[in-house]
Amino acid sequence: MQVWYFLVYVVFGISVLVLSVSLLENQTREHTVLQQITMLMSYLWSCYIFASGFIAILSIEFLFSENIKLETAVVDLWRDIYAIQMGLGEGFEWVGAIWVVLINTCLLKERRLSKKLVIFGYFISFFGFSTLIPSLKEMGAVFGLLQIIWFIFVGFMLLREKRTLQQHSTSNF
């Protein structure tokens, strides 16, 4: 369970930061205000993800340590820790939705993504924002799954850009 939480929370949180930096790196001029806000949002979203994940990972270790021997104490502590984790991390999809809107807007302004992929990103963010409505909190799963697809397409775009840059640099010699 701890390995799963590590992958889902920690690796994903790091991935969001790496992707943000990769998409917003700008070697020729200073970052725009929109890009700076987008980076700030990626830091905030990653912090939410890290905090929730580390609470989950460290709680499991604590609850199964030999320090707690009574089963009822474990159940009570688990309920308390779970409440803290969910209070902090449950529904952080809306924070991710803000990031998706911001990053897609930056990429649209830079003309680095196709309009179809940007519109898909905006569509995905709708599901993240819908988690703010308690009866629609299950939309977080849709947001996550669609976001995985968006990440894959953006990854292919970055690979294509890298190949194009490599081809241009080798043809200039």
- DSSP class of 134: G
- DSSP class of 7: I
pLDDT tens track for 72-124: 666 777 777 777 766 665 667 888 999 999 999 998 998 888 899 999 999 99
pLDDT tens track for 117-155: 999 999 999 999 998 888 998 898 999 999 999 999 998
Residues 6+ apart with CB under 8 A from 12: 49
Q: Is residue 65 within 8 Å of residue 73, measured between CB atoms?
A: no
CA distances from 88 to 1, 4, 47 (A): 20, 19, 10
Q: What is the pTM of this model?
A: 0.80
